[in-house]
Amino acid sequence: MKPPTVPVVISCGEPAGIGPEVAARAWAALAGEVPMVWLGDPHHLPEGFAHQVISKPQEAADLSPDVLPVIARDFGSTAVAGVPDPAHAAHVIDMIALGVSLVRDGAASALCTAPIHKKALKEGADFAYPGHTEYLAALGGVDDVVMMLASDQLRVVPATIHIALDQVPLQLTPDSLRRVIEITHAGLRDRFGIAAPRLAIAGLNPHAGEGGTMGLQELAWMTPLIESMREEGYDLTGPLPADTMFHAAARTRYDAAVAMYHDQALIPIKTLDFDQGVNVTLGLPFIRTSPDHGTAFDIAGKGLANPTSMICAIRMAHQMASAA
């Protein structure tokens, strides 16, 4: 278990978005509960926000609880709210890499990432990854990772993510679903401290295929895969009709649900807990969480951003580090 004084590090994300604002407000809400350090250019924090520049995370423990510890990097220019600057791209990427390095070296307990703007990163630094997750996987030296959306009410994993619906049956295979289940099971055990995780597996088709009358994948390979993994010791139920998996009584019977595609997973958690959902990447050799929202350029700099998801993401990162 990590000592409680080892901080969570927060990468700045896109400085023209709401990341610096919600990070500052999250620190104000969690000061005294979760030790944390922000990584970025302090000029991008809300004007007048109390902070203290430090050189390494360990120094945060010696600071007044009234100031946000910052490991500072000069981005070379101010940020204009709502207007991403590709000149900041390399620095944004460096702050992510720095956060990973600090966690892997043991100087920090976990990484919480603020939202990035992929177009600006591509234009300014030829960012070669589709997004945060793929870059983090490369930094961690792993090929397979899983996106979990988590809140106090539900944990759910989409087995396929940002692909068109007509591509789901093509990309969803016995091997890919097995790997998602394996990574989710290991993540619940190793990151959430659940000794014997229970997973509910959704069907792909309406009514989980209803005996083959509404689709054949459940009969052809999903049920045999689940039965095979049960014989290996996994506690799995399914394939289940997705429309009856997420009511209150059903959620008491599993620790996480594995859905087959993006909306099947995200609609229930965003309906149940829109503001408090946290994005957790499982399968990495370090802990990473992020708020479940984007850069929100339309409200950046206006004091309107809701920090709840960032607060939950930082708190969950700290809890996962304590359970590890």
pLDDT over 90 percentage in the chain:
89
Which residue blocks in the chain are alpha helix, DSSP H? 19-30, 89-104, 118-125, 132-140, 168-171, 174-190, 217, 223-231, 248-251, 262-272, 308-323
Contact 279, 289 (CB under 8 A): yes
Strand 278-282 to 146-150 pairing = antiparallel
pLDDT tens figures, 225-247: 999 999 999 999 999 999 999 99
User: How does residue 32 score in pLDDT terms, banded at 50, 70 and 90?
Assistant: confident
pTM above 0.85, yes or no: yes
pLDDT of residue 90: 96
| Residue 220 DSSP class | I
Distances 207 to 187, 237, 251, 254, 312 between C-alpha atoms, Å: 28, 15, 18, 19, 33
Q: What is the mean pLDDT of the chain?
A: 94
pLDDT of residue 253: 97
pLDDT tens figures, 269-321: 999 988 899 999 999 999 999 998 999 999 999 989 999 999 999 999 999 99
Output the DSSP codes for 168-213: HHHH--HHHHHHHHHHHHHHHHHTT--SS-EEEEE-SSGGGGGGGT
pLDDT exceeds cutoff 80 at 3: no
User: How does residue 64 score in pLDDT terms, banded at 50, 70 and 90?
Assistant: confident
Least Cα distance to 99 among 317, 319, 324 occurs for 317
Choose the weakest-confidence range: 3-7, 18-22, 40-44: 3-7
| Residue 275 DSSP class | T
User: How does residue 324 score in pLDDT terms, banded at 50, 70 and 90?
Assistant: confident
pLDDT tens figures, 102-139: 999 999 999 999 999 999 999 999 999 988 989 999 99
β-pair partners for 80: 83
User: How does residue 61 score in pLDDT terms, banded at 50, 70 and 90?
Assistant: confident
| Coil vs helix vs strand at 64 | coil
pLDDT of residue 162: 84
Least Cα distance to 294 among 17, 4, 84 occurs for 17
Contact 301, 122 (CB under 8 A): no
Residue 266 dihedral angles phi and psi, to the nearest 5°: -85, -30
Across 6-34, average pLDDT: 94
User: How does residue 2 score in pLDDT terms, banded at 50, 70 and 90?
Assistant: very low
pLDDT of residue 31: 87
Crossing angle of helices 308-323 and 19-30, in 10° steps, is 60
Least Cα distance to 145 among 157, 154, 155, 156 occurs for 157
Element (H, E) at 69: strand 68-72
Domains for the chain: give ranges and CATH numbers: 8-142+285-323 (3.40.718.10), 146-271 (3.40.718.10)
**Residues 6+ positions from 15 with CB-CB distance below 8 Å:** 40, 41, 44, 75, 79, 85, 88, 92
